[in-house]
């Protein structure tokens, strides 16, 4: 029998509500460490999608925040250890803040405006990471080759987004960490992947897409429409598809893209199924897992076409 992911029962009191994002969340302390609990919206799988994304990151070698399924006062969600262990030493600077430093006209302070920011382009993000002379991540993420700089690692984040149809890589969902003692800057591990894997779809629609013979409605068509929060140019009317963002970054960083595609090639169907099989039945449905598997495998197929 497959061992499932644990579901943490949070007994601690909240420190303070988190003011970023839209879902209910709060910080609390456990074992003298700072943790964040995020409640899933009703009738969604934002908890299991975050956990599955974390496990895929682990298999791919992508630096990532660590998550556990959790409950607080009966509400299901996810909990994660703070990326910043020593807040006296480290400071996080979000993508919108970095972009505003680079360009005073960048619309990064408009409250609630995350996704439809046309100035949030792939070229600008990679350029920011280059100009900041950013390292990988503190401490150096195990297994990452020295040849990958921050922009090269971010290409891996975009591969992940395409792999899981994550549509939430907005300008507050990537960041750098500044070491206040040395002045060194590091790319922050990838975080906040809950808007992925069709986790908000009802089972009725999942089953319909899984069984239909209509090529315009099946899972392949569904994932082909996944868009991200990045643009090719600020003159574009629509954001890039997730796979388009990865391909665009690949042209800028071909060696990094090749590295991440080789990592994806190793992540085969059996490993993917094992990750999904560990999601407890109490926090998901069979249809949700079947739909997620089909999405992941279809996205993997589309990405690996670049290797042929």
Give the domain ranges of the chain: 7-81, 85-308
139 preceded by a cis bond (ω within 30 of 0): yes
Question: pTM for the whole thing?
Answer: 0.94
State the average pLDDT over residues 92-109. 88
pLDDT value of residue 139? 58
pLDDT value of residue 85? 76
Q: Is residue 21 predicted with pLDDT exceeding 50?
A: no
Rounded Cα distance between 175 and 215, Å, is: 38
pLDDT value of residue 170? 92
Tokens of 251: 């042209």
At 226-263, the pLDDT tens digits run 999 999 999 999 999 999 999 999 999 999 999 999 99
Q: What is the mean pLDDT of the chain?
A: 90
Rounded Cα distance between 255 and 282, Å, is: 42
pLDDT > 70 fraction of the chain, expressed in percent and rounded: 91
State the average pLDDT over residues 206-214. 97
Architecture of domain 7-81: 2-Layer Sandwich (3.30)
* CATH no. for 85-308: 1.10.1070.20
| Nearest in space to 126 (alpha carbons), one of 257, 237, 239, 307 | 257
DSSP for 110-148, written as a single string: STT--S--TT-BHHHHHHHHHHTT-BS-SSPPTT--TT-
pLDDT > 90 fraction of the chain, expressed in percent and rounded: 71
Tell me the CA distances in angstroms from 82 to 7, 20, 250, one per residue in order: 18, 14, 30
Beta-strand (E) ranges in 158-279? 175-179, 185-187
At 66-86, the pLDDT tens digits run 999 999 999 999 999 998 877
pLDDT value of residue 12? 82
pLDDT value of residue 47? 97
At 140-193, the pLDDT tens digits run 677 888 889 999 999 999 999 999 999 999 999 999 998 888 888 889 999 999
At 108-150, the pLDDT tens digits run 776 555 567 899 999 999 999 987 666 655 556 778 888 899 9
Tell me the CA distances in angstroms from 220 to 65, 185, 224, 238, one per residue in order: 29, 39, 6, 21
Q: Is residue 286 predicted with pLDDT exceeding 80?
A: yes
Q: Is residue 22 predicted with pLDDT exceeding 50?
A: no
pLDDT value of residue 24? 85
């Amino acid at each position: 029998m497959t061992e499932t992911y644990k579901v943490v029962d949070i007994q601690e009191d909240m420190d303070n509500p988190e003011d970023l994002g839209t879902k209910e969340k709060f910080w609390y302390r456990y074992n003298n460490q700072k943790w964040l609990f995020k409640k899933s919206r009703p009738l969604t799988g934002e908890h299991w999608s975050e956990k599955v994304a974390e496990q895929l990151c682990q298999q791919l070698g992508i630096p990532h925040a660590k998550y556990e399924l959790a409950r607080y006062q009966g509400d299901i969600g996810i909990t994660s250890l703070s990326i910043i262990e020593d807040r006296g030493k480290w400071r996080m600077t979000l993508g919108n803040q970095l972009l505003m430093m680079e360009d005073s006209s960048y619309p990064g302070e408009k409250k609630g405006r995350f996704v439809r920011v046309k100035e949030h382009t792939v070229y600008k993000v990679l350029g920011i990471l280059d100009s900041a002379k950013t390292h990988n991540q503190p401490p150096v993420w195990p297994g990452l080759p020295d040849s990958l700089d921050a922009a090269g690692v971010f290409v891996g984040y975009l591969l992940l987004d395409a792999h899981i149809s994550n549509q939430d890589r907005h300008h507050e969902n990537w960041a750098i960490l500044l070491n206040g003692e040395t002045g060194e800057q590091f790319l922050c591990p990838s975080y906040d992947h809950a808007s992925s894997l069709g986790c908000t779809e009802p089972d009725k629609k999942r089953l319909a897409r899984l069984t239909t013979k209509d090529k315009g409605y099946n899972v392949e068509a569904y994932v082909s429409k996944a868009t991200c929060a990045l643009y090719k140019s600020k003159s574009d009317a629509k954001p890039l598809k997730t796979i388009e963002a990865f391909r665009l970054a690949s042209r800028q960083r071909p060696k990094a893209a090749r590295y991440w595609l080789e990592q994806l090639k190793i992540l085969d169907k059996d490993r993917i199924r094992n990750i999904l099989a560990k999601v407890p039945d109490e926090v998901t449905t069979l249809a949700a897992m079947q739909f997620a598997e089909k999405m992941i495998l279809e996205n993997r197929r589309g990405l690996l076409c670049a290797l042929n």
